[in-house]
Amino acid sequence: MNSVFESIKQGLNEAIEFEQGKLPGVKVTKITIAPIHNYTAKEIKAIRTQQKMTQRLFAEAMGVSVKTVEAWETGTNKPSGIANRMFDFLTKDHSLFENFSIIARS
């Protein structure tokens, strides 16, 4: 039991030293995460239209049901965080579905 206490105590002391800048050679990486944009029904429909997809095809590519896409586009339901991130990606890279072999156009 004493060794567990000593291990915890050592870890806490190292955390304090780190915060005080007393641990030389420790590499710190700061990550900033962009906020999630909450897409409106109009924006979602515009993304789908830009992809030249029906609601059915868009639903399949997104991994959701057609009813979900319909609900998003009418404003009945709001997309989840991960769906909103995907919309971010699609607005920045219109070929995302093709680039990741989610769809193939012929």
Tell me what pLDDT residue 20 has.
Answer: 84
Low pLDDT (below 50) residues in the chain: none
- Give the domains, in start order, of the chain with CATH numbers: 41-99 (1.10.260.40)
Tell me what pLDDT residue 1 has.
Answer: 64
Tell me what pLDDT residue 48 has.
Answer: 98
Compute the distance between CA of residue 105 and CA of residue 98 in angstroms, rounded to an integer.
8
Tell me what pLDDT residue 82 has.
Answer: 97
pTM given for the model? 0.75
Tell me what pLDDT residue 87 has.
Answer: 98
Tell me what pLDDT residue 31 has.
Answer: 94
CA–CA distances in Å: residue 97 to residues 13, 55, 91: 49, 15, 12
Tell me what pLDDT residue 24 has.
Answer: 79
Q: DSSP letters along 40-106, please?
A: -HHHHHHHHHHTT--HHHHHHHHTS-HHHHHHHHHTSS---HHHHHHHHHHHH-TTHHHHTTS----
